[in-house]
Chain A
Amino acid sequence: MRWRRWWHRWRRRLRYGRAQPTATAVRVNPFELYLVCLVLLGGLPLLVGAPAPRSLDALVARFWQLLWGAELVVGAAAKLVGIFGHRVRWRIAGLWLLGYSSVAYALAIITTLTPGSGAAVGYIGGFAVACFAQIRFLRRAAKAATRRSSEPPHA
């Protein structure tokens, strides 16, 4: 046990020096994880040949439908890499994809408005807003981390 503690301390000192900055906690959130998995499962069938949602099918060609599905899957996968690998860059990149593809889908539903699609627009639009808000939050956390790192280290 002791040797592991020593190795971690040595490795940390080698990378960051003696300063021990307190970090913005970017932890695994189970709700976030659940949403990401839902999105992944939503986009995957499209890539293996399932038909796209009717609203998208009516408006765009097959290529864009496949691109939409791919963006969902790749965006969710990038989020997972960011969550489990603790890499904010990947989280933000994944969120961009998910946000844009959600806006695209919400727009498709609005354009081909059918009865009962108001709620769907709400859910998907809300998800897009949440994605962009999360990007903003993570960028602010990154700026705060930059400011803290530029402060003199405590003894």
Chain B
Amino acid sequence: MPDPSNLAGAVIAGLLSAGAWQFLAGLLRRKPELDRLDAETESLRLTTADRLIDRLDRRLQAVEARNQQLVDELGQRDQTIVELEERLHAMRQSVTDLQRQLTVAETQLAALRGRETPS
């Protein structure tokens, strides 16, 4: 009866050798179906990456469009502010002119009243 520990040792050595052999065979042997699976996986990764890029691209476009809209609105508001300021300036100018005319008229009225007063 062989020694069980020797037998077990031999079996273990055999298993380890078989494992090494399978490893090398798995790497070196031609397996088209495995290469095809790798290709599909790569394709799926790229497709997934494409979809992600598409989604990010769409989001970026939406953000850019909104950004442009806000810039346009700000531009319009700036334009309105400038126009209002010009109108305000023009109105102030008119008010100043009217005040000057009023002062001249009051002076003339005072002068006329002074002449009419009997000495």
Contact = CB atoms under 8 A, between A and B. Distances in A.
Nearest to B29: A89
A93 interface: yes
5 contacts: A23-B40, A67-B20, A78-B23, A89-B27, A97-B19
Given A5-B54, A96-B22, A88 B34 contact: yes
Contacts of A21: 40, 43
A136 interface: no
Contact of B16 (A68, A89, A138): A68
Rank and list the top 3 A-B pairs by shortest CB-CB distance, nearest first: A100-B19, A23-B40, A23-B44
A5 B16 contact: no
Dominant secondary structure at the A interface: helix
- Which size bracket describes the interface of B in this complex? 35 or more
Interface of B: 4-5, 8-9, 11-13, 15-16, 18-20, 22-24, 26-27, 31-47, 49-50, 53-54, 56-57, 60
Interface string A104-126: 10011001100000000000000
A59 B46 contact: no
A143 B37 CA distance: 8
- Which size bracket describes the interface of A in this complex? 35 or more
Interface in A59-109: 59-60, 64, 67-68, 71, 74-75, 78, 86-90, 92-94, 96-97, 99-101, 103-104, 107-108
B45 A86 contact: yes
B5 A22 contact: no
A102 to B, nearest CB: 9
A44 interface: no
Contacts of A25: 41, 44
A146 B45 contact: no
Contacts of B11: 104, 107
A56 to B, nearest CB: 7
Q: Name which of A11, A23, A146 has the most chain B CB atoms within 10 A of its CB.
A: A23
Contact of A96 (B4, B5, B26): B26
A107 B54 contact: no
A1 B57 CA distance: 7
A71 B19 contact: yes
Contacts of A20: 43, 47
Contacts of A138: 37
